[in-house]
């Protein structure tokens, strides 16, 4: 579980939501730009990856250098099989499913299995 330390001034801190890593060939920046442009309103990863994000939570969008790029509000989280991704979800992910499959393989070191449970996090960009 991720622990967010309290802010010394008493302000609520929001947890980081990181996109990208060094050596990702620009993938993280591409995803961040899709979010900032309003073309990406969901993210997906294997359901087996630990994550304790909850609907209603505000997250700080962080790039691979640790810079804050924006804030998102998690609106819904669902689990579905990879072969259950359809055109509507493709639009929310901000890229064609084939490109998502390629990015998944680059990040995970393998292609997603058709029956693989995936956690889909839906969000909206905050002003």
Tell me: pLDDT of 7 over 60: no
Instruction: Collect all residues with Cβ–Cβ distance below 8 Å to 108 and sequence separation of at least 6.
Output: 46
* Domains of the chain, earliest start first: 15-125 (3.10.400.10)
Radius of gyration for the chain, computed over Cα atoms and rounded to the nearest angstrom:
15
In a 3-state reduction of DSSP, which class is residue 48?
coil
The answer to whether residue 11 scores a pLDDT higher than 70 is no
Q: Is the pLDDT higher at 5 or at 39?
A: 39
Q: What is the mean pLDDT of the chain?
A: 89
**Tens digit of pLDDT for each residue in 31-83?**
999 999 999 999 999 999 988 899 999 999 999 999 999 999 999 999 999 99
Determine the Cα–Cα distance for residues 82 and 79; give it in Å rounded to an integer.
9
Cα(125)–Cα(127) distance, integer angstroms: 7
Decide if 120 contacts 40 (C-beta within 8 A).
no
Q: pTM here?
A: 0.85
Q: How far apart are CA 92 and CA 88, in angstroms?
A: 7
């Amino acid at each position: 579980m991720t622990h967010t330390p309290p802010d010394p001034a008493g302000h609520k801190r929001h947890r980081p939501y990181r996109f990208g890593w060094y050596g990702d060939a620009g993938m993280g920046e591409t995803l961040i730009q899709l979010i900032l442009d309003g073309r990406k309103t969901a993210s997906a990863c294997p359901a087996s990856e630990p994550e304790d994000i909850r609907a209603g939570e505000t997250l700080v969008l962080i790039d691979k250098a640790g810079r804050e790029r924006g804030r998102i509000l998690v609106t819904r989280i669902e689990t579905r099989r990879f072969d259950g991704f359809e055109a509507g979800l493709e639009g929310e992910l901000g890229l064609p499913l084939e490109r998502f499959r390629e990015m998944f393989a680059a990040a995970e070191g393998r292609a997603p299995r058709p029956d693989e449970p995936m956690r889909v996090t839906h969000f909206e960009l905050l002003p």
